[in-house]
Amino acid sequence: MSAGHAAAGEALLEVRGLTKHFTLHGDIYSKLAGERTQVLKAVDGIDFHIRRGETLGLVGESGCGKSTTARLVTRLIEPSGGEIRLKERDLLSLPPGRMKDVRKSVQLVFQDPYSSLNPRKTIMHILSRPMEIHGLARSWSEKRERVLDLLRRVGLGLEHVDRYPHEFSGGQRQRIAIARALAVDPELVIGDEPVSALDVSIQAQILNLFRELQEDLGLTYLFIAHDLSVIRHISDRVAVMYVGKIVEAGPAAALFEKPLHPYTQALLAAVPEVDPDKPPPRLSLRGEVSTPIDPPPGCRLCGRCPRQLPICAEVEPPLVAVGDDREVACHNL
């Protein structure tokens, strides 16, 4: 039984076998040449859970499927298969009329606050519109009061309420994007690289804001980043993705202290400053990142892995519990 199953009762979000395959049809010339359609396995059967009030950091190289996972959980795109349970309700079998509740409960903060805020609307409009849609504030004065409360929570004030997004700095805009996510009293907030576009000093402020809001409002986070120091700072638990798969998951401290999967070890070895007191494990991977297009059977790391066994090319290693809330997908531990 995986740790995901064991934690089912206490999980706010439980994801099982979540899959998103994109069919690539190719251009007219490839069709004329008789080339077959390819399948890009962006997310290929992942399991994870997030307990109420905790932060799960999702980390992995560019293209491994992090944003696709975020879009699937928020139901911006339809999965090809799998289960998504929020508070034990199966989101994929909900009637369309009930999806509004889910959209309210799960909010997404994007990487780029420049393109995610409508430049023609004031902050008052941007923050009050979601409240109107979900019937959370009716009168103008109630809306204004809630908007001011949100602005205060994210470190902005009354003087900002009638301004437009272009009148703010990048860090302030991300504060507004966070306030907009909070405007509908969500339970789960998904940050898709929400600090990656910001200056390093501003990143720390926004990460601290995420933490404070979590404490004050009891929020649960799925926090996506490719920067390990960001993931380490913000996460209670971490899931490591590689080419559409979760290869390792566990409590952040334990995972950074003793990574088990060769891919996690290589990721940490590439960032020597992660723990200045301890030399990182010396491990590097050969070759290029594997492709998610029609991947061969077996482990996705096959061909690059220094611990490879003959079975690795044949059988995909399942993600299995290895004690202390840790899970790993590797034939050669």
Which positions touch Mg ion (CB under 5 A)? 66-67
Closest CB 202 distance from ligand ATP, rounded Å:
20
Q: Within 2-31, which residues bind ligand ATP (CB under 6 A)?
A: 22
Closer Cβ to ligand ATP, 112 or 236, answer by number: 112
Residues binding ligand ATP: number (CB under 6 A)? 13
Instruction: Report how far residue 223's alpha carbon sits from residue 259's, in angstroms, rounded to the nearest whole number.
Output: 19
- Only one of the segments 58-66, 142-150, 198-206, 322-330 lies at the binding site for ligand ATP (rule: CB under 6 A); that segment is 58-66
* 38 three-class SS: strand
Should residue 64 be labelled a site residue for ligand ATP when binding is judged by CB under 6 A?
yes
Q: Which of 57, 9, 51 is nearest to 220 (CA)?
A: 51
Residue 261 binding partner per list ligand ATP, Mg ion, none, with a CB distance cut-off of 5 to 8 Å that depends on partner kind: none
Should residue 42 be labelled a site residue for ligand ATP when binding is judged by CB under 6 A?
yes
Specify the DSSP class assigned to residue 324.
T
Closest CB 330 distance from ligand ATP, rounded Å:
21
E-only strand ranges, the chain:
11-24, 38-51, 55-59, 81-86, 89-90, 106-109, 188-192, 220-225, 237-242, 245-251, 320-321, 327-328
E-only strand ranges, 54-142:
55-59, 81-86, 89-90, 106-109
- Strand-pairing partners, residue 15, are 48, 84
Instruction: Report how far residue 156's alpha carbon sits from residue 15's, in angstroms, rounded to the nearest whole number.
Output: 35
Should residue 191 be labelled a site residue for ligand ATP when binding is judged by CB under 6 A?
no
**13, 14, 67, 265: which one binds ligand ATP (CB under 6 A):** 67
Residue nearest to Mg ion (CB): 67
Specify the DSSP class assigned to residue 289.
P
Take residue 37 and report the two structure tokens written for it: 């359609």
Closest CB 66 distance from Mg ion, rounded Å:
5
* CA 174 to centroid of chain Cα atoms: 17
Should residue 290 be labelled a site residue for ligand ATP when binding is judged by CB under 6 A?
no
- Only one of the segments 64-72, 87-95, 134-142, 275-283 lies at the binding site for ligand ATP (rule: CB under 6 A); that segment is 64-72
Should residue 239 be labelled a site residue for ligand ATP when binding is judged by CB under 6 A?
no
Instruction: Report how far residue 331's alpha carbon sits from residue 275's, in angstroms, rounded to the nearest whole number.
Output: 27
Closest CB 192 distance from ligand ATP, rounded Å:
7
Residue 63 binding partner per list Mg ion, ligand ATP, none, with a CB distance cut-off of 5 to 8 Å that depends on partner kind: ligand ATP
Q: Which of 65, 51, 66 is nearest to 12 (CA)?
A: 51
Instruction: Report yes or no: 184 and 134 within 8 Å, Cβ to Cβ.
Output: yes
Should residue 112 be labelled a site residue for ligand ATP when binding is judged by CB under 6 A?
no
Take residue 311 and report the two structure tokens written for it: 């079975």
Closer Cβ to Mg ion, 55 or 67, answer by number: 67
Specify the DSSP class assigned to residue 97.
G
Instruction: Report how far residue 237's alpha carbon sits from residue 227's, in angstroms, rounded to the nearest whole number.
Output: 15
Residue 40 binding partner per list ligand ATP, Mg ion, none, with a CB distance cut-off of 5 to 8 Å that depends on partner kind: ligand ATP
Closer Cβ to ligand ATP, 43 or 330, answer by number: 43
Should residue 292 be labelled a site residue for ligand ATP when binding is judged by CB under 6 A?
yes
Chain residues in the site for ligand ATP (CB under 6 A): 22, 40, 42, 60, 62-68, 226, 292
